[in-house]
Structure 1
Amino acid sequence: MPPRKASATASTEPPRRSSRIVSQPKEEPKVATKAAAGSKKRPATAAAASDDAAAPEDGSSAMKKAKSGKAKSDEDDPLAAEEAKLAKIEIGDVLPGVTLKNEKGEDIDVAGLALEKGVVFFLVPKADTPGCTNQACGFRDIYPDFTSLNYDVYCLSADSPAAQTKWQTKKELPYPLISDPKRVLITALGAGEGGKTKRSHFIFEKGGRLLDKRLPVNAKDSPNIALEFIKSL
C-alpha cells in the first residue's frame, strides 16, 4: 500500500512550546539587582561633613588658621599685648602706661600713680611669706615718713588680689598692693626672671621718672634704704 501524505494543516502549524517553560519568569541580572540595592544616597550635609573630616589640611590653610588664632589670642588678652610693648625701664625712664589691678580688683593706671606724687614700688616674691612679710612690715612701720616727703608706697607682686587683700588685712598694711600675675611691669623693671619675682625696690619722682633701683635688696634693709635715698634728694 502506498504511504499516506501528511496533512497540509499539520505541516504548516508551528511546533508547540512546553507550557512549563513559557510560564517561568525571566531572571533579572544579579549585578543590576545589587546595584539597585546599594543606591541609597547619603544626605548632602552628612556627606560634606564626612568629606571635610577625611580631607587632609594643606599647609597654607593650617598656616592661615594658626595666624588667625594668634591674632585672636592677642586681642582677647590685653596684658599679652601690653607686655610686648613694655621695654626695660632704666634710670631716667618713665613709668609705662600699663593697667594692672590693686588688691581690691580695681583697674589702676600705673603711669597715673606718679602724676602728683613720687612713688616707691617694693617688689616681693610671694605674699605672706616670712621674708616678704618682714619687708612689707618695714615699709608699714615708717610709712608716715614717706608720705610726709610726698611719696606714696606700693607693694608689687604676682599674687592675686584676693591673696593680697588677705595679707594686707592680716598685717595691717596701710598702702595699696598691686597685682601683676603675668609679671608685665615686674619684668619691665628687670625683676622678673624664670617665672619668679626678685626682691627689690624702685623709686620714681613726681612725673614718673625712675631715680633709683635696688635689685636685689635685703628684705629688712629695703625700707630704710629707700627712705634715706628720698631724704638725700
Structure 2
Amino acid sequence: MPIELGDVIPHFTAIDTNEEKFDTLEYIGKKPLVIYFYPKNNTPGCTAQACGFRDQYQDFTDLGAEVIGISSDSVDSHNAFAKQYKLPFILLSDTDKKIRKLFGVPSGLLGVLPGRVTYIVDKQGKVVLVFDDSINATKHIAEALEAIKKIVS
C-alpha cells in the first residue's frame, strides 16, 4: 500500500553521506520533513532537482523543516554527488529499496526507472502532501516549499 495523505510515515533507518545512521524517530515530533525519492544521482533531472533543493535549502530550514533525498545509490555515490553539487541536506542510501517499498513509491517512466515522489510530513509525522511527477523534477521544490509554508503558519 502506498503512503497517502493523512498517513503517518513508517519508521525507517538508513545510512547517510557521513556513513551515520539516520533514524526518523530523531525527527518526528521535532520538525517537518521534505522526503523526496529520486531515481539516480548525476542524471539531468535528479541533478536539477537536488540543486533546486540546495538553492532553496535555507528557505526550508528557516521554516524549521529538514530536506531528505533518498535513492538506491550507494553511500559513496551520494557522498560524491553531495560534494560535487555542494548539497547541504541529508541524502540516504536505499540500495535494497526497502524504504522505497515501505512508502509504496511507484516506478516512473513506463516502469523502467524508480519513481520520483516527494512527501511533505508535518511535525507529528503525518503526510500532508504527496507530489508525484517523474517528468518535471524541479517542480517538486516549489510544491514542497508551499506545503511547508502552509503547515508552519
**Which TM bucket (shorter chain)?**
0.7 to 0.9
Name the residue aligned to 1:222. Answer: 140
Which string of whole-angstrom CA distances, capped at 9 and with x for unpartnered residues, describes residues 36-71 of structure 1?
A: xxxxxxxxxxxxxxxxxxxxxxxxxxxxxxxxxxxx
Name the residue aligned to 1:147. Answer: 61
Structure 1: distance between partners of 2:106 and 2:96:
10
Give the C-alpha shift of residue 115 in structure 1. Answer: 2.9
Q: 2:3 aligns with which of 70, 78, 89?
A: 89
Task: Give 3-state SS (helix, strand or coil) of 1:126's partner.
Answer: coil
Q: 2:116 aligns with which of 178, 199, 202?
A: 199
- Contact (CA 8 Å) 1:102, 1:177: kept in 2 or not? yes
Report the residue type matching 2:81 in the other structure. W
- Contact (CA 8 Å) 1:105, 1:161: kept in 2 or not? yes
Name the residue aligned to 2:85. Answer: 171
**Structure 1 regions of 5+ residues with no counterpart?**
1-86
Structure 2: distance between partners of 1:115 and 1:150:
12
Task: Give 3-state SS (helix, strand or coil) of 1:169's partner.
Answer: helix
- Contact (CA 8 Å) 1:101, 1:179: kept in 2 or not? yes
Give the C-alpha shift of residue 184 in structure 1. Answer: 1.4
If the length of structure 1 is used for normalisation, what is the TM-score? 0.59
Q: 2:70 aligns with which of 135, 141, 156?
A: 156
Aligned residues: 147
Which protein is bigger by CA-based radius of gyration? 1
Task: Give 3-state SS (helix, strand or coil) of 1:114's partner.
Answer: coil
Task: Give 3-state SS (helix, strand or coil) of 2:27's partner.
Answer: helix
If the length of structure 2 is used for normalisation, what is the TM-score? 0.87
Larger proportion of helix: 1
RCO higher in 1 or 2 (8 Å CA, sep ≥ 6)? 2
- Contact (CA 8 Å) 2:128, 2:147: kept in 1 or not? no
Larger proportion of strand: 2
Structure 2: distance between partners of 1:88 and 1:222:
19
- Give identity over the alignment, percent: 35
- Contact (CA 8 Å) 1:120, 1:151: kept in 2 or not? yes
Q: Moved runs in structure 1, 4+ residues, more than 3 A?
A: 192-196
Which string of whole-angstrom CA distances, capped at 9 and with x for unpartnered residues, describes residues 89-137 of structure 1?
A: 2221212222211112222212432331000011110011111000000
Structure 2: distance between partners of 1:196 and 1:219:
14
Task: Give 3-state SS (helix, strand or coil) of 1:133's partner.
Answer: helix
Report the residue type matching 1:183 in the other structure. K
